[in-house]
Structure 1
Amino acid sequence: MVSHTLNSAYNPYENRNVEVPMSNVGAFVSLLKCVIGTGILALPLAFAYTGWLNGGILLILITILLIHGITLLIICMVESARRQEQGYCNFPDTMVYAFNQGPNWCRYCARASGFLVDGVLAFSHYGVCVVYIVFVSVNIKQLSDYYIKVMDLWIFILFVGMLSIPLFLIRHLKYLVPFNLAANIVMYLGFVLIFYYLFQNLPALSEREAFSEPSKLPLFFGIALFSVSSVGVMLAIESKMAHPEKYIGWFGVLNLASVVVVISYLIFAIMGYWRYGETVHGSVTLDLPNDEMCPRPSSAWPSSSRIRCPAM
C-alpha cells in the first residue's frame, strides 16, 4: 500500500511545471478543433434515428454527462497529485494510486489498471486517427478522380499519412495552436458552404419527426458518442495549460468550448435532417449535389464532359 502524509495546504497547480504552457485562448482553440471532427457530418443521420427534438435533447444530455465525467476525473487527478505532493498526476498514475488506496483485492490490480487505461486511450485514439485519415483521403480521391485520373485509395491514404507525420512529431501543444486556429477557420468556412445547400428547398418542419421510435436509439448513441467524446485530448490540453485551474468550472475553458461545440452540432444536425429527412446518408456531404463540379482546366477534354459551375 502506498502511504503519504496528507498535506491539505499543498496546491498541485502552484507546483506544476509545464515546459511550454498554453494560454487559455490557445486551450480553447485547441479543444474546439479536437472535439469537432468528421462525426458532425453523421449527426443528421443520428437525428433521423431519433427525431429532431428528441435528438437535440439527448445530444445536450450526453454532452452534459461527458463534461461532468471529465470534470470529476480532473478533480480526482488533482486530488491524487495533492495527496502525493506532486505537481501533476496523469490518468494512469491516478488509477494506480486510487487502486492502492482500496482494499487488498484492489491493490493487486493497481498496476494492471494503469496499463488498462494506457491501452484503452492508445487504441481509441488510434481508431479515431485512422478514421480521419481515411475520410480526408476519400475526399481528395474524389477530386483527383475527376480532375486528374482514377487512382487507388491506398495511394491517397499513404500520401495523407506521410504529410501528417511532421505534425505528429510536434510534442508541445502550444506550437499546434496556430494550426488549430487555421483549421477551425477552414472548418467553419466549410460548414458555411454546406449550409448554402442545407438552407435551400427546405420542406415544412412538420414533415420531419420530432420523436422517433426508441428501437433506433442505440444507433443514435453510437454516432453521438463518437462525435462528442474525446477524453484523451481533453486531459492532454489541461495538462499543458499555463493556468490549469481555469480549465474546469462553470465558466472554465472546458465548459465554454463545450457550449460552442453543442450549438454547432445542434444547428448542423437539425438542418441536415430537416433538409434531407430519412434519406440522409451517413455523411451529409454525400447528399450534396455532385453535378456542379467546375470544368476540367485542360482543353484536351471534349466539351461534352464539361460540367458547368453554378451561377453565383
Structure 2
Amino acid sequence: MADVNKPGEKKFHPYDARDVEKPLSNCDALFSLVKCVVGSGCLALPLAFYRVGYIGGILMTIFMTAVLIFGLQLLVRCMVESSRQNMVGYMNFPETMTYAISVGPKFCQCLSKCAGHFVNGILIFFHYGVCVVYIVFVSINVKQVVDYNYHERINTRIYCFIVGTLSLPLFSLRHLKYLVPTNILATLLMYTGLACIFYYLFTNLPPIDEIRQFNSQLSLFVGIIMFGTSSVGVMLAIEAKMATPGSYVGWLGVLNRCALFVAVTYILIGFMGYWRYGDYVAASITLNIPIEEAINKKTVIAELI
C-alpha cells in the first residue's frame, strides 16, 4: 500500500485523531477485558483437559491463547494502518475488511462490500449466540438452586425471561465506561465463586497417575477453548474506547497482561478439575459439585487445619 503522507509532511496518526466521549483508562480496560474473556466457558475446561490429557491441556492452552492474542494484535494493527491510510481516527472491523479487500488483488476487489457485510453478520451471530448461552446458563443454575431449596418446579423459560429482563438495563448502557463498576463487581463475584469451586477441587485428590498425560481428541479441546477465550467484538470495542489505545497492544500491553492472567486461571481450573474428577468430569465442573451441601466456614477452616 502506498504511503498517504507526502515527503516533508507530518505523519498522520489515527490515535491523535480519535475523539472518545467516555474514554477508558488502562485499568478500566484491563478489568473489562478480563470480564469479557473469563466467563462460563472456563467451567468446561476440565472436560477440555480430559480430551487431550493434562500435559496436552496445559501446552495447548498456552498455544491457543498465544495464537488468539497474536491474531488479535495483528488485526488491531491492521485497523490502525487502515485508519492511517484513510486519514481517519478509527475504522471498525467491517470497514477495515472492506478497505483491505478493495485495495487488494483486482480479482477480489468486487467482493469488498460483501466482505464487510459478512464480517458484520458473523459478529452479530456470534455475540447473539454467546448472550443466549449466558442467559440460559444463569437461568439453569438459578433454577437448580431454587428447585433444591424451595421445591418449586418452575419452567426454565420463565427463568430465562426473568434473567433477560433484568439484563436489559445493562444492555441499554451505551458507554463501556459506565460498565466498569459492574465489571469489577462481576469479576470479584466470579472469582469468589471459583474459589468455592476450588475448595472441592483441592480436596480428596486421587493419585495423579490415574489421569492421562495426553489424549487424542484435539478437535473437541479446540472447540471448548475457543468458546472460553474468544470475544473478538468486545476486545476490539475496548481498544476503540481507550484513552491511550497505544497501550492496548505490545509485549506489556493491556491485551498481553490480560492473556497471561486468563491463561493461568484457565490452566488452573482445567488441570485441577480434571485431576479431581478424572474420567467422570462433567460438561460443566459445577455439575460434579454436590448440590446437597453448602460450604460451611467451620468446615473450610477444619479442612485447612
Same fold (TM over 0.5): yes
Question: Equivalent of 2:214, from 206, 211, 231?
Answer: 211
Aligned position for 2:111: 109
Gap regions ≥5 residues in structure 2: 300-305
How big is the shift at 1:229? 1.1
Alignment match of 1:87 (pick from 86, 89, 107):
89
Q: In structure 1, give the amino acid aligned to 2:189.
A: V
Structure 2 letter corresponding to 1:228:
T
Give the Cα–Cα distance (whole angstroms) in 1 for the partners of residues 202 and 4 of structure 2: 62
After TM superposition, the score normalised by the length of structure 2 is 0.93
Secondary structure at the counterpart of residue 136 of structure 2: helix
The answer to whether the aligner puts 1:201 opposite 2:204 as a matched pair is: yes
Match of 2:248 in 1: 247
Distance across 1 between alignment mates of 2:160 and 2:294 = 23
Deviation of the 1:311 alpha carbon:
5.7
Structure 2 residue aligned with 1:141, among 133, 143, 167? 143
Mapped contact 1:4–1:84 kept (Cα < 8 A): no
Aligned length: 295
- Moved segments of 4+, more than 2 Å: 2-8, 309-312
Query: Counterpart in 1 of 2:54?
Result: 52
Q: Distance in 2 between matches of 1:4 and 1:89?
A: 17
Q: Alignment partner of 1:161: what SS?
A: helix
Distance 2:232 2:80 in 1: 16
User: Is 2:126 aligned against 1:124?
Assistant: yes
Query: Percent of aligned positions with the same letter in both sequences?
Result: 50
2:14 corresponds in structure 1 to 12
Which amino acid in structure 1 is aligned with residue 25 of structure 2?
Answer: S
C-alpha RMSD over aligned residues: 1.7
Once residues 202 and 103 of structure 1 are traced to their aligned partners in structure 2, the CA distance between those partners, rounded to angstroms, is 58
The structure 1 residue matched to 2:181, chosen from 168, 174, 178, is: 178
Please state whether the residue corresponding to 1:109 is helix, strand or coil: helix
Pairs within 5 Å for 1:143-158: 143-148=145-150, 149-158=152-161
How far apart are residue 140 of structure 1 and its match? 0.6
Q: Is the 8 A contact 1:292 1:310 kept in 2?
A: no
Aligned counterparts of 2:267 and 2:4: Cα–Cα separation in 1: 48
Q: 1:50 offset after TM fit, Å? A: 0.6
The alignment's TM-score, normalised by the length of structure 1, stands at: 0.91
2-structure distance, mates of 1:267, 1:231: 24
Secondary structure at the counterpart of residue 250 of structure 1: coil
Residue 293 (structure 1) shift: 5.2
* Aligned amino acid, residue 227 of structure 1: G
Alignment partner of 1:278: what SS? Answer: helix
- Measure how far apart 1:103 and its partner are: 2.6
Deviations 1:259-296 (A, max 9, x none): 000000000110000000011000000000122159xx
User: Structure 1 residue 283 and structure 2 residue 249: aligned?
Assistant: no
Q: Does 1:169 align with 2:172?
A: yes
Q: Deviations over 1:90-116 (max 9, x none)?
A: 111111111110233222101101000
Residue 76 in structure 1 maps to residue 78 in structure 2: yes
Q: CA deviation at 1:6?
A: 3.9
The alpha-carbon distance between structure 1 residues 310 and 72, as it changes in their structure 2 partners (threshold 3 A), is closer
Q: Which residue of 2 aligns with 1:22?
A: 24
Query: Is contact 1:248–1:254 with CA below 8 Å preserved after alignment?
Result: yes
Deviation at 1:3, TM superposition (A): 9.3
The 5 Å alignment of 1:254-265 reads 254-265=255-266
Cα distance in 2 for partners of 1:187, 1:114 equals: 36
